[in-house]
Amino acid sequence: MKYIYLDHAATTPMHPDVIEEMTTVMNSIFGNPSSIHGVGREAHQKLEAVRQVIADSLKVKPHEIIFTSGGTEGDNTAIIETAEVMKKQGKHIITTAVEHPAVLQPLRYLESKGYDVTYLPVDESGRIILKDFKSALREDTILVSIVYGNSETGQLMPIKEIGEILQEHPAVFHTDAVQAYGSEEISPKEMGIDLLSASGHKINGPKGVGFLYKRDGLVFQPLLRGGEQEEKRRAGTENIAGIAGMGKAVEWLTPAEKAAHKAKNKDFQEIILDKLSEAGIDYQINGDCENKLSHILNIWFKGVSGDLLLMHLDLNGVAVSIGSACTAGTVDPSHVLEAIYGKGHPAVKESLRISFGYGNTEEEMIRFADLLIKTVQRLKN
């Protein structure tokens, strides 16, 4: 029986066009893009062509795209280097309690260096309250880092509204859009976003490559120091094959394709939820079912251990998760669900994240839902 992969929020399989593009580049474009001879210029041309593709997807200038090794590097660069550059103006930073570890860990590092970080709480949907954000904003606030779409619940944050509030404030606005970039239509200029992180492997591209959008004119220092690549903003010879693969993935994700994915994901969710309801399964969706990323469905199965449920599904050929892949393997409960429900709440350890993506079919959803129902019933008994 074919394995059913429903953990696309953790990573995605590479699209065949991406694999073909990377293979072609690895076979024919091996030069260093910083070299001035013909072989190097060929690599540089490929690099700049992809930069244009990504810039077009965000409606920004190519110069504003910096290639990185992925979302973690993008988040760390945006947060640590912005704080360092702006520390004379203040040391206050605003974020949320439900950020990805790639945001939370550099912020904790900055706290150890004397910075003051406000972690905004979230409501029962997992969304921050704008009134709380306005109250937290101070004269010495230098950076606001708020996730675009949460990786565990899929909850979308009020990014545009935050950007509008910050129009009258000098704080830099960063958003981790790793989960959202492949799904949502994002326009940093229109939304007031100064810095945006994204990653190739979340959009059916390769691992180990991503990009950071940096608004033109923003004062910035590189996190990685060495050579003068990326206009002195990120040292290290660029991963041409990986960048080319990411570019092909971005080309594939047209607005029409994103809309089609959303419609299909909605159908997948309805199949699963309808079958759960028909079977009388006691469940609750974590977060706001409407105002979220369409490819993530986080469900609390009341009275059933999430760990056991995941293990039984895995043994039966289904890949799902109980939280962010970057916190997998730890014994700590989900900090996202704790922020929504409170510590010790049963939902924290009785929830499952199901995430859809390229390659999934309606037949798989029916088969998965039937298996899920049988497994939940077995574990409850």
Q: Which of 271, 273, 326, 371 is catalytic?
A: 326
Long-range CB pairs of 358-362 (<8 Å, 24+ gap) are 358/8, 358/12, 358/13, 358/15, 358/204, 359/5, 359/13, 360/4, 360/5, 360/6, 360/8, 360/264, 360/268, 362/267, 362/268, 362/271
Q: Which residue type, as a one-letter code, is found at position 69? A: S
CB 72 within 8 A of CB 212: no
Euclidean distance between CA atoms 315 and 322, whole angstroms: 15
What is d(CA 67, CA 199) in angstroms, rounded to the nearest whole number? 10
Tell me which amino acid residue 352 is. Answer: L
Extract the tokens encoding 140. Answer: 């010495």
326 is catalytic: yes
Per DSSP (E only), the strands in 233-316 are: 283-285, 296-301
Go through the chain and tell me how many residues it has. Answer: 381
**Sheet of 172-176, strands arranged across:** 65-68, 210-214, 195-199, 172-176, 141-145, 92-96, 116-120
Give the burial string for 350-370 (b: 16+ CB within 10 Å, else e). bbbbbbbbbebeeebbebbbe
With vertex at residue 339, the alpha carbon angle to CA 268 and CA 172, rounded to the nearest 5 degrees, is 95
DSSP annotation of 13 reads P
Name beta bridge partners: 93.
Answer: 117, 143
Tokens representing residue 325 in the block: 């892949």
Query: How far apart are alpha carbons 235 and 163 in whole angstroms?
Result: 30
Give the residue among 76, 139, 128, 73 at the shortest CA–CA distance from 98.
128
Residues labelled catalytic? 326
